[in-house]
Structure 1
Amino acid sequence: MNGVANDHVLIFDPYTAGHHLEHLSHLVRYEVSRETGRRLSLVVHPDIDERCPDLVADSRASENVDVHSLQSEEWEQIRGSSNLLGQSVAEWNLVRTYGHDLQVDRCILMEMNVLQFALGLPLQPVDFDVDGILFFPYVRIDCEDQSPLKRWLCWLEKLRKWGQTEWMLRNTCLQTIYVLNDSEAAATLREIHTTDVFTPLPDPVPEWEKSDNARDGQMEAAGEWSEDRTHFLLFGSLRTQKGIRQLLQAAEQLAPSDASRMGLHLLGQPKNEWETQLPRRIERLRRVRPGLHLHYEGRFLSNVELAQAIEATDIILAPYQRTEGSSGVIGHAARHRCPVIGPSTGLVGSLIQEYQLGITINATSPSAIRRAMINLVGEQKIGDEEKMMEYVRERTPDAFASALLDELP
């Protein structure tokens, strides 16, 4: 395939959480705005009309962009799988079916991690090229500074993921594997697996709509963003990997005099065990540290609301427990010139340090998080705003879409 304008490209992404809908929207808007003559067919979640009506509306502006919602029984094939191997095969079967029926030239798997097992199976090759985005590359997993048992288990995980990657690479239809936001990992993977299929992909930083004065929003009316405190914000999916447990422990360890100078904002939908645990932990925190201004909204906020919150806050909290993947949080923080507290390890730590986006710590330690928060109270200059803007300029939504649709390696 040569990447000419009349290629028919299948975009396969049946999920809606996190970055999924945002990434799909970037591709649709890019294609509609350019009218390259290329045909784009998206295979997406059954409830796409309800969950992302703007994407569907944008697609209707071009006769070359089609949105195909999975049928409920097709979605059940994925969701009903009892294990990841079954899910992998179910997804790949849908890719093969849609790719064949739509007669595409190329398929882009918007998240190929689960599909690695099925991609390596000795099945009949498909008659189209396959590309995909690989998240959380194993070469970024840091096994140092752990107990002997944890270090051993960590290396076993890296070995397993090395094997998964080798297995996936058996598929001769694979042309390009995009590594999100990590040119170093892409180069390392090329060397380890002696193949040129790995290439970096910019993690897009969109520009959210915001009000003229972020402090005039609903949250300001509720008195959430007072000027006499330093405000810390954790947003997005509130789950274990985001460091919510360590953050709550850090907040409980604050001295009352330090807590009285801070506002802590937890804005996002709790996930998994935190759906029930988080409300209880917040009530406990209110009891033990009544001087801390604690603001919790257990729902996904709109882009406008999040833009208001980031503009109003002083420090973004990003104490990731797994650091080998990219982070949309640090991109949004950089766009708003808001410094972050993040991990010192992995890709996230490397990006924070390279672009001077804030400070890095041992994010697995509640004491380290607590000390960082105390040290930053009242600080006026954290990070480098010019470097923050450089980070954003290198990761525009158009750069992301162009790399996937136009710049075939």
Structure 2
Amino acid sequence: MRPHLLIFEPDPRGHTCEWIEHLLAAAPTCPERPILSLVVAADLAGLLGDAVARVPAGQVRVVALTDREQALCTHRRLSVSAFSRWWTMRRHLRRTGATGGVFLEFDHLSLPLALGLGTSRPVSGVLFRPSVHYGTFGPDRPTVKERLRDSRKEVLYRLMLANPALRAVLSLDPCFPEFAWQRYRHGEKVAALPDPAFPIPADSPAADPAFMADIPAGRTLFVLFGELTARKGVMPLIEALAMLPADVAGRIAVMIAGRLDPALRPAVQHAAAGLAVARPDIWFRLEDRRLPGEELARLVGRSDVILAPYQRFVGSSGILMWAARTHRPVICQDYGLLGHLTRRHGLGLTADTTDAGALAGAIALAARRGPAALGDPVRMAAFAASHTAEHFALTLLRAALRDPAQAIAHSLSPAPRIASK
């Protein structure tokens, strides 16, 4: 029987549309040639029309979630959204006749799985934020809240991996699978999944977009972009800029581009206005909107240093992929996976970005040394080459279609060895 996967995603924001487009492009080349049922948010279903049209007839089916299903699956209370996603997956597995299901966001599904809830067909999912192994990355002092978080995850992971309904856990953290294999019974269900580098649009505008027109020539351009929430470090960055010495302030330009979280917007706008008065020698701009891919590609191409001053963020980030693809060094948090990848692959500088003084020191060092001294272009290129969209999509499809041992054997990015605890 031809395999049939149900791809489930109720949240239309962020990476999801791009990820599904990657899966649609790879499905016809996958040896098993699976049928894909896309059970997705209605807004997302509308965005996928062109990508679906490029897939051979009969290989893709699109099912839009009802308003009620989407509301429950994206509920603010994580327990509500977790169980809603679980039961919605079960219902659509029956309706579509799929032979397996894939959750594109899996972290909160650990609770229903740990409680032993089952399905008629095996399910897999993409795990974004494992953090129980962060102590293997080097010395760190986790907070009490972080220790409690990881203790809870440790229990949930052990229990969910024992659930026979779970086929594979695809980890965006390349270090977690080896940790799981050594530490957990049924850890062989965990496999590495390369976070795909964003494809740079081929049809970028010939000239800079209007918002970039007044970026001064001769200054080192630092850029922070993406969905700008508190964890992205916008406020600590503005605080750090106010602390820069005069010889650095006069030679840099800083652009923050992306949609600000509405809850954060008043504070950021107030801080930016204060910075303009206190430090007019710093060229600083805030572009508060989500940039189309073409404009973002142009901005990254114009940049000298990419800023990722996350606040003890857990998981990976597409910003590292953008930077590596374009050979732009990053200034990144020293904590967790992001700091580990930055150091391991020569992607730039790491600092305690929760400390505005330390962040200011990293920016000053980058301005004085120059961007070329911050990263290793050869290692950046190798890192980006191992995170292609095709690699991501085929790894996910193979893991969801095969048993865990086969998924590990076919993984193209094996996790590095780490010491067991």
TM-score normalised by the chain length of structure 1: 0.90
Match of 2:359 among 347, 361, 369: 369
Q: Are 1:56 and 2:46 matched, yes or no?
A: no
Report the residue type matching 1:222 in the other structure: A
Match of 1:262 among 228, 249, 252: 252
In the alignment, what sits opposite 2:17?
Answer: 21
Flag the 1:351–1:361 CA change in 2: closer, same or farther, 3 A.
same
Once structures 1 and 2 are overlaid, which stretch shifts more, 132-141 or 301-310?
132-141
Contact 1:144 1:151 in 2 (8 A): no
How far, CA to CA, are the matches of 1:210 and 1:291 in structure 2? 36
Flag the 1:362–1:265 CA change in 2: closer, same or farther, 3 A.
same
Contact 2:304 2:371 in 1 (8 A): no
Match of 2:310 among 290, 307, 320: 320
Flag the 1:140–1:385 CA change in 2: closer, same or farther, 3 A.
same
Q: Shift of the alpha carbon at 1:78?
A: 2.3
Flag the 1:47–1:389 CA change in 2: closer, same or farther, 3 A.
same
Flag structure 1 segments of 5+ consecutive residues without an equivalent: none
Contact 2:161 2:189 in 1 (8 A): no
Report the residue type matching 2:50 in the other structure: A
Q: Are 1:190 and 2:184 matched, yes or no?
A: no
Q: Shift of the alpha carbon at 1:257?
A: 3.7
Report the residue type matching 2:69 in the other structure: E
Q: Are 1:403 and 2:398 matched, yes or no?
A: no
Flag the 1:38–1:210 CA change in 2: closer, same or farther, 3 A.
closer
In the alignment, what sits opposite 2:412?
Answer: none
Once structures 1 and 2 are overlaid, which stretch shifts more, 270-279 or 84-93?
270-279
Q: Shift of the alpha carbon at 1:71?
A: 1.1
How far, CA to CA, are the matches of 2:293 and 2:244 in structure 1? 31
Q: Are 1:241 and 2:236 matched, yes or no?
A: no
In the alignment, what sits opposite 2:6?
Answer: 10
In the alignment, what sits opposite 2:331?
Answer: 341
Match of 2:132 among 129, 139, 154: 139
In the alignment, what sits opposite 2:378?
Answer: 386
How far, CA to CA, are the matches of 2:103 and 2:381 in structure 1? 30
Q: Are 1:43 and 2:33 matched, yes or no?
A: no
Greater relative contact order, per chain length (Cα 8 Å cut-off, separation 6+)? 2
Contact 1:32 1:59 in 2 (8 A): no
In the alignment, what sits opposite 1:98?
Answer: 92
Q: Are 1:77 and 2:72 matched, yes or no?
A: yes
Report the residue type matching 1:130 in the other structure: V
How far, CA to CA, are the matches of 2:253 and 2:236 in structure 1? 17
User: SS at 2:259's partner residue?
Assistant: coil
Contact 1:107 1:130 in 2 (8 A): yes
Once structures 1 and 2 are overlaid, which stretch shifts more, 190-199 or 260-269?
190-199
Report the residue type matching 2:306 in the other structure: I
Q: Shift of the alpha carbon at 1:300?
A: 0.8
Match of 1:161 among 153, 176, 180: 153
Q: Shift of the alpha carbon at 1:273?
A: 2.3
In the alignment, what sits opposite 2:418?
Answer: none
Report the residue type matching 1:199 in the other structure: A
Flag the 1:105–1:84 CA change in 2: closer, same or farther, 3 A.
same
How far, CA to CA, are the matches of 1:152 and 1:38 in structure 2? 45
How far, CA to CA, are the matches of 2:343 and 2:14 in structure 1? 24
TM-score normalised by the chain length of structure 2: 0.88
How far, CA to CA, are the matches of 2:23 and 2:293 in structure 1? 18
Q: Are 1:152 and 2:147 matched, yes or no?
A: no
Flag the 1:313–1:325 CA change in 2: closer, same or farther, 3 A.
same
User: SS at 1:402's partner residue?
Assistant: helix
Flag structure 2 segments of 5+ consecutive residues without an equivalent: 408-421
User: SS at 2:143's partner residue?
Assistant: helix
How far, CA to CA, are the matches of 1:19 and 1:350 in structure 2? 22
Q: Shift of the alpha carbon at 1:16?
A: 2.1
Q: Shift of the alpha carbon at 1:219?
A: 4.0
Contact 2:10 2:73 in 1 (8 A): no
1:86-128 Cα distance to aligned partner (Å, 9 max, x none) = 21111111000001110111111111112121223344x3221
How far, CA to CA, are the matches of 1:144 and 1:38 in structure 2? 44
Report the residue type matching 1:292 in the other structure: I
